[in-house]
Structure 1
Amino acid sequence: MKIQDVPFGVTRWEDVEPTEHRGEEGVALWRTFEGGNLRVRVVEYSPGYRADHWCARGHVLYVLSGTLVTELKDGRVFTLTPGMSYQAEDDPENPHRSRTETGATLFIVD
């Protein structure tokens, strides 16, 4: 990852206004910083959240709380708990999507 046009800065996440994104079920609240070619988010998934789409965008994702289930289009399924992360490249051939029964809070860089 080459981060470009992003000068040093500090983000106080509690001051970032959340935006709501509805899933197939449940809702995600995103607190987002965007600058240059970088997007950084703290995302909160409600209990019962299920993404409404397959995502082909690359991410680095770290679970802060809750349990996240991520499935790949090829059928593989991964369960992540606090302290676990995944990294995925841009991959339109094998996208991923997420769900959670209990809710989850994530830190995501893409």
Structure 2
Amino acid sequence: MENSGIPFQTVDWKNIPRTEHKGETGIAYWQTMQFNGLRVRYVEYSKNYKADHWCKKGHIVYCLEGEVINELQNGTKSILRKGMSYIVSDDLSSHRSVTENGVHLLIIDGDFLK
């Protein structure tokens, strides 16, 4: 990955615009910072959220609050709780998120996970 030239900055997520993404059930709210080859998101999944697709993209995910079930297309499931992370590279799994009571996540992805 070439130098993306990100200067030092603090982020007050309250000032980052929030976009809405409907799931199969529930809603995901994203606040996104986009850089060259890098995306950083604060993501909130509503109660009873279930992703509407199987994702093959790589991510580094840190759970800030709540819990989320990570389902793999092969049937494997894991639970991510506050203070836990998962990491996966592009095209190494087909995964989706499901949450009963909602969750807040910090998600980082980009070219370095190819």
Q: Structure 1 residue 21: deviation in Å?
A: 0.2
User: Identity percentage over the alignment?
Assistant: 44
Q: Give, as a single letter, the amino acid of the residue that structure 2 aligns with 1:39.
A: R
d(CA) in 2 for partners of 1:27, 1:12: 22
Task: Name the residue aligned to 1:107.
Answer: 106
Which protein is richer in strand relative to its size? 2
What's the Cα RMSD here? 1.3
Q: CA-to-partner distance for each residue in 1:2-25, whole Å, 9 max, x for gaps?
A: 463242233221100100000000
Task: Name the residue aligned to 1:37.
Answer: 37
What SS class does the counterpart of residue 109 from structure 1 fall into? strand
Cα gap change, 1:6 to 1:73, in 2 (>3 Å):
farther
d(CA) in 2 for partners of 1:79, 1:63: 10
Task: Name the residue aligned to 2:48.
Answer: 48
Runs of 5+ in structure 1 lacking a partner? none
Q: CA-to-partner distance for each residue in 1:14-43, whole Å, 9 max, x for gaps?
A: 100100000000000000000100000000
Runs of 5+ in structure 2 lacking a partner? 110-114
d(CA) in 1 for partners of 2:74, 2:12: 38
d(CA) in 1 for partners of 2:88, 2:78: 13
d(CA) in 1 for partners of 2:2, 2:60: 14
TM-score, normalising length: structure 2: 0.89
Q: Size of the alignment, in residue pairs? A: 108
Q: Structure 1 residue 65: deviation in Å?
A: 0.5
Task: Give the conservation status (yes or no) of the 8 Å contact 1:65–1:105.
Answer: yes
